[in-house]
Structure 1
């Protein structure tokens, strides 16, 4: 039944992506190349709406079948819908960046308050963060939401990151027999895969802000839910999302220190530099998939399952080679 359920929503996302492509072409919702772009051909955008609709419908079905907790489902659906709608409106017409960011913070604060806060969380084997944990949780959600937008720049990259991260964590949850709705993770991977076939290796339609922000928020919420259960599980989430977190954060920090504004358009992420050097998106996206599966997943698995006193050190181990790569390829350097 689970296989049939997943297949059904994969097909739904695949079909809805086709209709979104027709709609985007009809309404002239086209992504034209600019100074930030890694593509050279005008391409319809907004196809990720298919992922959003499919996933939200899937959550409703899981809720109806009593296969997912009510509060968990409602949190994902309400917060995800607001961010997806905001992104869709931004795709259709520009929304002031400060207004958009303010809404991001309001949604993030709503999620954290809804979870009852994180003041009880300890790190490094007993260090209590208190109220600062709530602030960090809000910032984490807003940053992951936005960095996913920043990193959605070449064919298949955002989809591959979501698929590998959710499936990796689903395996960890199943092995640990944790009380968590892993079906929601597998559902998300299936919906994203339905879109991926339209976006990779050659993009017939782009994801758009409606879905990239949605994915960042949903993955962030799933990670915070893990934090409520076990710090090591949260560390595992951070490890699985390492490629996006390291590339976006390293690039942003370097650009800020170089005098650029946070939202200045650019093409200086590691993945963008690599795609130019290789003159292709495909090997970069496949390389990220390989790093996620062959490096980050094993590290995340051991951190989550071995009961280390300091699981936070696993993040440093996982991120170290990614940081080295960002340095080697001069991420954040406008002239790289």
Structure 2
């Protein structure tokens, strides 16, 4: 396992270096703006390194016959579709509805795979919905240095720990290791961003990562959702407020809690670190309470999400934060 993780860290490092050279040559640069949190022009598209690592892991999974080849092929194809439309969008902005349509196709493939395994239609629909949601949540939340990558690293590593020694853990460890290889170039001040190719792919990989957790892990229990609390709460409540206010909710903005915090402090590092500490605690709770009953898991989830919602509300309506972001 150590050699496997080192391989994917190396892929993350080398792939990021190559992606940055390509982005600079093709002028794939995110410029600062009123609806962005960064102040320096930065190349994008580094997440392609994580995609390459994940595809290698899928290939290994198929070659060892740990999963049916058709099932692995379907999951890998969904990843290619999500990453591909993101890669195109990184080169030339596409309609959000076109991207959402491709995300839906990929999510359908995930749901169909679940149904083919003999699970219920309800489980397949859950898989479809979760995939669409996490793809877009990771895209929405990839707005400051190091945030989306560190969250994906922690969540994937936590689920991998639960899944071990099942072969699926190798895929999750590969994703976490590739994120670790990419992260140094994404920490503030970031030298490259994930881009849509990376943020969408990470959301897809985490959705699949949760849905394919093997028996014996909290696959359909409450605990497995706990590490997602920071991102799901921030994304969901911010989206709800924007919809209720009649805003163009799909358009770029600076209203997420993490964006308001950055606007107040002027620094990305402490914000990403705080989110990482929260998620690390959530992962630790999930692992330690693994053998507990469903009631304990439900209570932990409720407390975790309620606390996250209260923190979100404080960050949104705190007077200092409002002054920093310029919005109520």
Counterparts of residues 1-336 of structure 1 (less than 5 Å): 2-65=1-64, 70=69, 73-116=72-115, 131-174=121-164, 179=166, 181-226=168-213, 229=215, 232-234=218-220, 235-294=222-281, 296-309=282-295, 311-330=297-316, 335-336=327-328
Contact 1:153–1:272 under 8 Å retained in 2: yes
**Structure 2 unmatched ranges of 5 or more:** none
Q: Structure 2: how far apart are the matches of 1:190 and 1:66?
A: 23
Deviation of the 1:22 alpha carbon: 0.8
Deviations 1:136-173 (A, max 9, x none): 43222111110100000111111110111111122223
Contact 1:29–1:92 under 8 Å retained in 2: yes
1:40/1:243 CA distance change after superposition, 3 Å: same
Q: Structure 1: how far apart are the matches of 2:313 and 2:187?
A: 28
Deviation of the 1:69 alpha carbon: 5.8
Deviation of the 1:300 alpha carbon: 2.0
Q: Which moved more, 1:308-317 or 1:217-226?
A: 308-317
Q: Structure 2: how far apart are the matches of 1:200 and 1:68?
A: 35
Could you list the structure 1 runs, at least 4 aligned residues long, displaced by more than 6 angstroms after superposition.
331-334
Query: Structure 2-normalised TM-score?
Result: 0.89
What is the DSSP-based 3-state SS (H/G/I as helix, E as strand, rest coil) of the residue aligned with 2:115? coil
Deviations 1:282-335 (A, max 9, x none): 0111111111112x1233235532122474443212111110011111179870
1:286/1:323 CA distance change after superposition, 3 Å: same
Q: Structure 2: how far apart are the matches of 1:117 and 1:231?
A: 21
Deviation of the 1:232 alpha carbon: 3.5
**Structure 1 unmatched ranges of 5 or more:** 122-130
Alignment size in residue pairs: 321
Contact 1:119–1:134 under 8 Å retained in 2: no
Deviations 1:22-75 (A, max 9, x none): 111111111112332110111110011111112212332344355666455334
Q: Structure 2: how far apart are the matches of 1:184 and 1:72?
A: 14
Q: Structure 1: how far apart are the matches of 2:124 and 2:312?
A: 30
Deviations 1:236-279 (A, max 9, x none): 33211111111100110011111112212210111111112221
What is the DSSP-based 3-state SS (H/G/I as helix, E as strand, rest coil) of the residue aligned with 2:212? helix
Query: Structure 1-normalised TM-score?
Result: 0.87
1:302/1:223 CA distance change after superposition, 3 Å: same
Q: Which moved more, 1:278-287 or 1:50-59?
A: 50-59
